[in-house]
Amino acid sequence: METIECRREQQLPCALIDCVTEAVSSTFASIYGREPQKKDNGSAEVVGDGVLGIISLVGALQCSIVLGLPRETAKAVTAKFAGFEIDYEGPDMGDVVGELANVVAGDAAGRLESRGIKADLSLPTVARGNDVEMIQQGNTTSRLVHFECTGGSFWVKISAETQAGARN
Amino acid sequence: MKIRAMVIDDSRVMRNMVMQSLRKTRLAEFEFVEAEDGADALKKFNPTELDIVFADWNMPNMNGIDFVRQVRAMAGTGHIPIVMVTSEKAMGKVETALDEAGANEYICKPFTVEQLERKLSGLFNQIAQNQQKSGGFFSKLVNTNA
């Protein structure tokens, strides 16, 4: 099993960023029939009124993946994914966004494994509300990647322990 | 062909998606038993009343792979195909499910109706043969009694 090394302190491993962004592209391509476009939107991560799907990978690396979907994107993507309309305010919205986060993380874990990095998935957690902010802990660093798909814009935040805080 | 299928997933929406997709295939006419996790599925599992099981991997209480191991440890369950329907895509997970735990097929989420048909047609042929055999067995009993 390979232990991931950061390119340099305070940066995330390239393999992790590549695998997660490829997983997002692949997952949304299978839902919409075309890959989402990556966008340069700086570091703004607040979704306003929206839903966050949160999942962790544990093993050769400790990281978390947060899928941030603004309300209208969440409604469009979950309807397309499930094949029927999902009530934004209802419990099924949490179910589907959690499943989406799970699919992205499962795909990323498969890609990491093919690079010799084994990781297990946690169960997903979902948060819904206004301006929900994920607070980063001391030894972690993050990368935010914005996307635009047919259903609207969304982002993915990838966080992992930095080299200084990495567990072996 | 009528099929009694168990669908195990902690997500009610995913269970509905699996059931709807199976109904859209031309594989069989389905009757479903739903379970929320592996522990719930074990309580509801009756090998004489099921033709096939569809199980998610990541679930609270008991995950899908532990459910498969427990079912395969029971006598008289080998004829019931178990299909993993999961977002776990790592080859190591696929091998664990198929080679070690005893699952019969592995389907990654998200899936299409066409993918389900392609992956499941062999298993459904096997179920049809099993049903014919047991039908033949019961027919013989009826003929003998007559």
pLDDT per residue as tens digits for the range A123-163 = 999 999 988 877 777 788 889 999 999 999 999 999 997 65
End-to-end CA distance of chain B, in Å?
A: 27
- Asked if A27 is an interface residue toward chain B (Cβ–Cβ < 8 A), one would say yes
Using a 10 angstrom Cβ sphere, with 0-12 exposed, 13-18 middle and 19 or more buried, the burial of residue A119 is buried
Query: A95 and B60: CB-CB below 8 Å?
Result: no
pLDDT confidence bin for B143, thresholds 50/70/90:
very low
**Domain layout of chain B by residue ranges:** 2-145
Query: A113 and B92: CB-CB below 8 Å?
Result: yes
How many Å is the Cα radius of gyration of chain B? 16
The yes-or-no verdict on residue A7 having pLDDT over 50 is no
What distance in Å separates the CA atoms of residue A47 and residue A105, rounded to the nearest whole number?
A: 20
Domain covering B2-145, topology = Rossmann fold (3.40.50)
The yes-or-no verdict on residue B139 having pLDDT over 80 is no
- Amino acid symbol at B27: L
Nearest to B91 among A102, A106, A113 (CB): A113
CATH number, domain of A115, equals 3.40.1550.10
Chain A residues in contact with B60 (beta carbon < 8 A): 123
Q: Please say whether the beta carbons of B12 and B39 come within 8 A.
A: no
Among B11, B13, B88, pick the best mutation site for testing chain A contact (most A Cβ within 10 A): B13
Using a 10 angstrom Cβ sphere, with 0-12 exposed, 13-18 middle and 19 or more buried, the burial of residue A149 is buried
Is A2 within a domain?
no
Q: Which residues pair with B32 in a beta bridge?
A: B5
The confidence score (pLDDT) of residue A136 equals 73
pLDDT per residue as tens digits for the range B105-124 = 999 999 999 999 999 999 99
Q: Which residue does chain B place closest to A79, by CA atoms?
A: B13
Task: Please give the tally of structural domains in chain A.
Answer: 1
Query: A121 and B20: CB-CB below 8 Å?
Result: no
Is A7 within a domain?
no
Q: Give the rounded distance of the alpha carbon of A7 from its chain centre.
A: 21
- Asked if A161 is an interface residue toward chain B (Cβ–Cβ < 8 A), one would say no
In the stretch 65-104 of chain B, residues with CB closer than 8 A to chain A read 86-92
Q: Which residues pair with A51 in a beta bridge?
A: A69, A128
Nearest to B90 among A82, A95, A113 (CB): A113
Is A144 within a domain?
yes
Query: B110 and A81: CB-CB below 8 Å?
Result: yes
pLDDT per residue as tens digits for the range B2-25 = 999 999 999 999 999 999 999 999
Domain coverage including residue A32: 14-132+139-165
Query: B90 and A105: CB-CB below 8 Å?
Result: no
This prediction has a pTM of 0.86
Higher-confidence residue: A161 or A98?
A98
Higher-confidence residue: B120 or B132?
B120
What distance in Å separates the CA atoms of residue B112 and residue A30, rounded to the nearest whole number?
A: 9
Among B21, B37, B89, pick the best mutation site for testing chain A contact (most A Cβ within 10 A): B89
What distance in Å separates the CA atoms of residue B79 and residue B85, rounded to the nearest whole number?
A: 19
The yes-or-no verdict on residue A44 having pLDDT over 80 is no
Nearest-neighbour CA in chain A from B52: distance (Å) = 23
Return the SS3 of A151.
coil
Rounded (to 5) percent helix, strand, coil in chain A: 35, 30, 35
The confidence score (pLDDT) of residue A134 equals 77
pLDDT confidence bin for A10, thresholds 50/70/90:
low
What distance in Å separates the CA atoms of residue B14 and residue A92, rounded to the nearest whole number?
A: 10
A62, A20, B17, B60: CA torsion to nearest 10: 0
The yes-or-no verdict on residue B138 having pLDDT over 60 is no
Q: Which residue does chain A place closest to B20, by CA atoms?
A: A83
Q: Report the candidate in B10, B56, B55, B52 with the shortest Cα–Cα distance to residue B31.
A: B52
pLDDT confidence bin for A1, thresholds 50/70/90:
very low
The yes-or-no verdict on residue B80 having pLDDT over 80 is yes
What distance in Å separates the CA atoms of residue B6 and residue B54, rounded to the nearest whole number?
A: 6
Nearest to B89 among A95, A107, A123 (CB): A107
Is A94 within a domain?
yes
Nearest-neighbour CA in chain A from B73: distance (Å) = 25
The confidence score (pLDDT) of residue B62 equals 97
Arithmetic mean of pLDDT, B34-48: 97
Using a 10 angstrom Cβ sphere, with 0-12 exposed, 13-18 middle and 19 or more buried, the burial of residue A131 is exposed
Average the pLDDT over each of A58-67, B83-92, B137-146 and give the range with the smallest value: B137-146
